[in-house]
Structure 1
Amino acid sequence: MWSIGELAERAGVTVKTVRFYSDRGLLPEAARSSGGHRRYGPEALDRLRLIRSLRALDLPVPDVGRVLDREDLLEDVIAGQLEELGSRMAALRWREAALRLLRDCSPGERAERLRLIGAVSAPPSTAALARFWRRVLPVRLPARLLSSILDGVVPQPPADPTPAQVLTFARMHALVSHSFPLTDFCRPMPRQPDRGYRPAVLYDGLDEAYELVSGDLRARKTPHEGEALDCFVSAHATSRGMRDTPEFRRQLSDRLALTADPVIGRYWQLAAELAGPADPTFGAAEDWLRAALDAQVAAVGC
């Protein structure tokens, strides 16, 4: 049996450290001396070393206690710590890029950039962007479809951003926080559609069309006729209970030309800057398909 001082010496820690863990129930004493002093057995040394190893990983004392009581919880505790550490590291990388942005800008730009960056948390949240699109999109879309659309229209901030990407995201955050679009980003009809309009059919079809055109966007191909354009037009026609005819395509081209919205246009411009050319946005897909439709209509002279 060892005294508290002997255990501390063998473990290479202070008496205060042993007493701290003992008082919190992490290091049970084996017995007490006749004078009431704590006594520890050899198993206490192994336990103390395990405690130190867990604390060296920055595990909080309560989590250390859970692991000591149930070693099968160690994997869950480690996973939780990795997630928390990842969040802290993302925040630090974001702050570093923001500081570099402020350091390298001119004095005349600094006030505006401070205002933009100060409105964004670190790491940044996409909640404001999601709220913006929930206001824009039609109500009562199926949950699966709404989730798929939000995944496509709300860009995730880069894990290791450049100063330029920090500024772009901050500008996007400011845009959706202080603006409301005049029209929906791809709906060709008025905000109060006719009774036969089925928005779920439209957006489901657009999602498929955007996926079909993504390869052409990455390859930087000129807008052209093909499966993606046919899917795009079919989504609009079917959602209105109409047939895909040359006349419908001409009318659709005209309607889409009237739905240009500066807020939505600016949003997609910033989203493209944030994502880069390797990851085309829904906005880029929409523009490509509209251009393909316009070119086809002009070619046939409808």
Structure 2
Amino acid sequence: MSPEGLLSIGELALRAGVTVKTVRFYSDRGLLPAASRSSGGHRRYGPEALDRLRLIRSLRGLDLPVPEVDRVLGRGDDLTEALEEAVDGRLRELGSQLTALRWREAALRLVRDCPAGERADRLRLVGAVATPPSTAAMARFWRGALPVRLAPRLVSSILEYAVPQPPEDPTPAQVLTFARLHAIVTAPCPAVDPRRPAGNRTDTDCHPDVLYDGLFDAYGLAAGHLKADRAPDRGQALDRFVAAHAEARGLPDSPGFRRTLSGLLARAADPLVDRYWELTGELTRSPEPTIGAVHAWLRSALHTDVTAAAGRPPSGGPPHPAPTAP
């Protein structure tokens, strides 16, 4: 140590147990400023530099990048808070990396363990999905299918139900299910496909907020019937379902309206959306029915009601439809 109590770069490196190259690296990047320079232009460091260098090494030992270390050190008196923020951020990054590794492992097992004849198709499916997987394509799919005038709060509620979150530690089967969902929402749509943004329901005679508020009420009432495995039939849930459609159009609930609505819902069925809801249930493994399953139950209940009102036995009508989107 010099008479002024300053350390040379070599002395600082020796006391900290690092190389001179390491000290120079941090100095050149502004993390470890020199207190002064000797007459020969050599760096000199104050006693506090040793603690600062040890702190830098500890932060780097946590795998914090150099810019993040610089941000933490620059907070001065707020060092504790800055360190907590940096560690929390690094933990989030590691969590994302671990999720990506688990998805890659499950995808590899899926491809390795499947029958040879299915390997190319499964490789194509899982290869199209990023790791960790993103739900952005599913959100775009549903935003393009919903009415353009729908209130943001209802859009958010629908996306919460319609966009399943990928599990952090998936099985190979869940990886395949998510890949199939991704394939559905990224498949090219025909020009006449109602799921295209230009095909959004823009019926000026229909108030979408009224419709979807009512549908959520009806879905809540019908979900219990599905969980209890009750057959689709008349009741409060069906009445609220029909009322939602009628109120949105400013029309009364009548036998004629129910016949018309039943026909409209049957024609609006989309096999790809049917499959989407089925896969969503497989991915989440939730005991709660999906919106698609609840909608199917209500649509079937409406068909039962219409055929009964016409004096025809329900068994003479179409079979119980597969789940479809509202």
CA offset digits 1:276-300 (Å, max 9, x no partner): 2424221111112223333444555
Rounded to whole Å, the distance in 2 between the matches of 1:74 and 1:178 is 45
The change in CA–CA distance for 1:21 and 1:279 in structure 2 (over 3 A counts) is farther
Unaligned runs of 5+ in 1: none
Partner of 2:212: 203
Equivalent of residue 43 in structure 1, options 44, 48, 54: 48
CA deviations over 1:34-90 (Å, ceiling 9, x no partner): 444333232111111111111112111111111111024333333332332222222
1:258 aligned partner: 267
2:208 alignment partner AA = P
2:19 maps to what in 1?
A: 14
Aligned equivalent of 1:86 = 95
Question: What SS does the aligned partner of 2:44 have?
Answer: strand
CA-CA distance at 1:183 after TM superposition: 7.0
Aligned counterparts of 2:48 and 2:204: Cα–Cα separation in 1: 77
Distance 1:12 1:225 in 2: 80
Distance 1:47 1:260, change over 3 A: same
Distance 1:208 1:77 in 2: 44
Pairs within 5 Å for 1:212-223: 212-223=221-232
Q: Alpha carbons of 1:86 and 1:108: their partners in 2 closer, same or farther (altered >3 Å)?
A: same
Which secondary structure state, in structure 2, belongs to the residue aligned with residue 39 of structure 1? strand
Q: Which moved more, 1:68-77 or 1:151-160?
A: 68-77
Deviation at 1:98, TM superposition (A): 0.8
- Considering only aligned residues, what root-mean-square deviation do their CA atoms show, in Å? 2.7
Greater RCO structure (CA 8 Å; 6+ sep): 1
Distance 1:251 1:58, change over 3 A: same
Q: Is the contact between residue 211 and residue 245 of structure 2 (CA under 8 Å) also seen in structure 1?
A: yes
**1:108 aligned to 2:113?**
no
After TM superposition, give the deviation of residue 249 of structure 1 in Å.
Answer: 3.2
Q: For 2:59 and 2:201, how far apart are their aligned partners in 1?
A: 60
Aligned residue runs from structure 1 range 175-254, under 5 A: 175-180=184-189, 195-254=204-263
Aligned residue in 2 for 1:55: 60
Secondary structure in structure 2 of the residue aligned to 1:9: helix
Moved more, 104-113 or 239-248: 239-248
Structure 2 CA distance for partners of 1:193 and 1:61, relative to 1, 3 Å: closer
1:75–1:213 distance in 2 versus 1, CA, 3 Å: farther
Contact 2:147-2:202 within 8 A present in 1 as well? no
- More off after superposition, 173-182 vs 149-158: 173-182
State the AA in 1 paired with 2:54: R
Q: Does structure 1 residue 32 correspond to structure 2 residue 37?
A: yes
Cα gap change, 1:74/1:213 in structure 2, threshold over 3 Å: closer, same or farther? farther
Cα distance in 2, alignment partners of residues 171 and 139 from structure 1 = 27
TM-score, with normalisation over the residues of structure 2?
A: 0.81
Per-residue CA deviations over 1:219-260 (Å, capped at 9, x if unaligned) read 544444444323212111111212223443344334323332
Is 1:98 the counterpart of 2:103? The answer is: no
Identity of aligned residues (%): 64
Q: Deviations over 1:93-128 (max 9, x none)?
A: 211111111111122111111111111111122222
Aligned to 2:71: 66
Q: State the alpha-carbon separation in 1 of the partners of residues 281 and 14 from structure 2.
A: 61
Count of residue pairs the alignment pairs up: 298
Contact kept in structure 1, 2:147 and 2:201, CA below 8 Å = no
- Runs of 5+ consecutive residues of structure 2 not aligned to the other structure: 1-5, 312-326
Does the 8 Å CA contact 1:183/1:261 hold for their aligned counterparts? no
